[in-house]
Structure 1
Amino acid sequence: MTVLLVALGAAVGAPLRYLTDRAVQAIVGPGYPWGTFGVNVTGSLILGFVAAWPASTAVAALVGTGFCGALTTYSTFSFEVLRLTQQRLRFLAVAYAGATVLAGFGAAAIGLILARAIHQL
């Protein structure tokens, strides 16, 4: 049953990642990977919330592993840093990598804090 929940969450997260990236690129253009940055930070926020929320293993599998695992993308992030470096946009590559890591940790911490605060109400 857990495997099905992970697959169901991933079936929603992966297309949402793709559609979000395409929508962001249509608005701001393909120069900077804002779509990947956005889904990675959003996924970190959701995962931080789910990790701190006293939920069942089913919810953790569906939302945490399935949805967030498919929504966020380390491989695309790594490729985009490499692509920026190859285009000789080294400062932008370092800034993107640093901003993604810092914003991801920050978003996860905010999600964790929110979940704990809501649970204590």
Structure 2
Amino acid sequence: MILIGIGGFLGALTRFYLGKWIVHTYPWTTFFINITGSFALGVLFALHLSDWLWHFIGIGFLGAYTTFSTFGFESLQLVEQKKWSHAIIYMSSSILLGILCATLGFYMV
């Protein structure tokens, strides 16, 4: 449990500072973070690392680094702003590319 907490702390910090470093073009910062996190999780899963590394990196770090709640909130904001095409592109590309990147990461290993 401690490893998940430490990993989560580090993942949240990485997400925060990476989000500040990336040119903030709403909502594409979250998109980039979630896609890279999906890829990393696919790689990690394929490596079949020990349980403690899975808990630390997979559940802790990558769980905090990526964020479904922000994705949902930003999707809702786009809908409320009646930016229909942006919302559809953001939601569909996030889901499809997230799965594709996780698969790609898995098979690259």
TM-score past 0.5 threshold: yes
Of structures 1 and 2, the one scoring higher in RCO (CA 8 A, sep 6+) is 2
Gaps in structure 2 of 5+ consecutive residues: none
The answer as to 2:30 corresponding to 1:36 is yes
Correspondence 1:1-121 to 2 at 5 A: 3-24=1-22, 27=23, 29-30=24-25, 32-115=26-109
Structure whose CA Rg is larger? 1
Q: Structure 2 length normalisation: TM-score?
A: 0.94
Aligned sequence identity (%)? 36
Q: CA RMSD in A?
A: 1.1
The runs of 5 or more residues in structure 1 that have no matched partner are 116-121
Q: Distance in 2 between matches of 1:67 and 1:100?
A: 20
Equivalent position SS for 1:88: coil
Distance 2:97 2:52 in 1: 27
SS at match of 1:67: helix
Q: Which AA in structure 2 matches 1:70?
A: A
Equivalent position amino acid for 2:70 in 1: T
Deviations 1:5-61 (A, max 9, x none): 11111111001111222222xx3x44x311100110011011111111121001100
Letter in 1 for 2:18: T
Structure 1 stretches of 4+ with a deviation exceeding 6 A read none
- How many Å separate the matches in 1 of 2:57 and 2:48? 13
Aligned residue pairs, count: 109
